Amino acid sequence: MRIINRTLSRRAAILLGSIPFALLIGAYAIASHLRRINNPADKLLPSLGSLGDAIWRMGFEADKRSGDYLLWLDTIDSLSRLAVGIFISTLLAIGLGISIGFIPHIRRGLAPFVATLSLIPPITILPILFIIFGLGETSKVMLIAIGTAPVMIRTIAQAVMDIPRELIIKAETLGASTWQMIARVVLPQVMPKLIIAIRLGLVPAWIFLISAEAIASTSGLGYRIFLVRRYLAMDVILPYVAWITLLAFILDRLLLMASRKALPWNHLSGDSL
């Protein structure tokens, strides 16, 4: 049988999938060991044991100064910023995206503006955001929203325009008002695209979250990484990076599952990554 036709059992698939991870950890352990032969207190590649100690210290021991459990405090603060930012972007994507995609007057008026906005690198206007929104939570959330919303709006607008014209005409012949068409035809049709837009928006959202926290903050996953970077504490940085990756992965999977559950008709054409 040709290799392209062979399928794997679930166990074999999991095993194969875990090999690159195991190799990476193995390579790290070897490199770390070699560096620590020269200097047992090496900071760049700490041993797996001291990574474990750092995870334990950050996650399960109260901080000496504040009494907080830092890993969880950082995670909650970061996730809530991310949630508010993405929520604002989603609302904007639905509201503006559908209007731009569906109503020619709004499209002509706003589409070029949104397209232009989406090209501004958000980091460059951070000093302006500070002055408008202050240094607190607002500017961090706004950076995430400004960084993700324009692209999401454009995705949704395009999705609306991709709806087969026949469907719209059919609805019109049946006497639907514009509002009814939006609620009954357009919205359900773009829901899968909206979930994809959120999933894709989360990628830059994490970047903007970390950047915002790096600039002025008292907590958050990005704050902690940039803080301990000052003394090359890779034993804290590496687990934090792994943790952020895991959180991002879980969020992505949850959205995919939600899409499969709520919109099964969109997943009939086969599996996707």
Partner 1 sequence: MLKTFFKTLSFAAVLSASLASLPAHAEQKSDFKVCWSIYVGWMPWGYLQDSGIMKKWADKYDISVDIVQINDYVESINQYTVGEYDGCSMTNMDALSIPAGGGVDTTALIVGDYSNGNDGIILKNATDLAAIKGQNVNLVELSVSHYLLARALEKVGLSEQDVTVVNTSDADMIATYATDDVTSVVTWKPLLSEIAANDNATLVFDSAGIPGEIIDIMMVNTETLADNPAFGKALVGAWYELMGIMASDTDEGIAARTAMAEASGTDLAGYDAQLASTAMFFTPDKAVEFTKSTELPETMKFVAEFLFDKGILGEGAPSPEFVGVSFPDGSIYGDSANVKLKFDTTYMEMAAKGEL
Q: By CB under 8 A, is residue 230 in contact with partner 1?
A: yes
Q: Interaction with partner 1 in 171-210: which residues (CB under 8 A)?
A: none
Q: Does 15 bind partner 1 (CB under 8 A)?
A: no
Closest CA to 209 of 122, 268, 118: 122
* Structure-derived torsion over alpha carbons of residues 231, 235, 238, 242, reported in degrees to the nearest 10: -140
Instruction: Return the exposure string of 126-159: e unless at least 16 CB atoms fall within 10 Å of the residue's CB, then b.
Output: beebbeeeeeeeebbbbbbbbbbbbbbbbbbbeb
Residues in the chain: 273
- Nearer to partner 1 among residue 35 and residue 199 (C-beta): 35
Among 84, 227, 255, 256, binds partner 1 (CB under 8 A): 227
Restricting to residues 133-162, name those near partner 1 by CB under 8 A: 134-136
* Residue 226 near partner 1 by CB under 8 A: yes
CA distance 51 to 36: 14
CA angle 227, 247, 223 (to 5 degrees): 15
Q: Is 233 in the site for partner 1 (CB under 8 A)?
A: yes
- Candidates 64, 105, 165, 261; binder of partner 1 (CB under 8 A) is 64
**Which residue from 72, 46, 47 is spatially nearest to 58, judged by alpha carbons?**
72
Assess 76 for contact with partner 1 (CB under 8 A): no
Q: List the x/- string, 23-62, binding to partner 1 by CB under 8 A.
A: xx-xxx-xx--xx--xxxxxxxxx---x--x---------
**67 lies in the site for partner 1, by CB under 8 A:** no
State which residue, 242 or 250, has the beta carbon closest to partner 1: 242
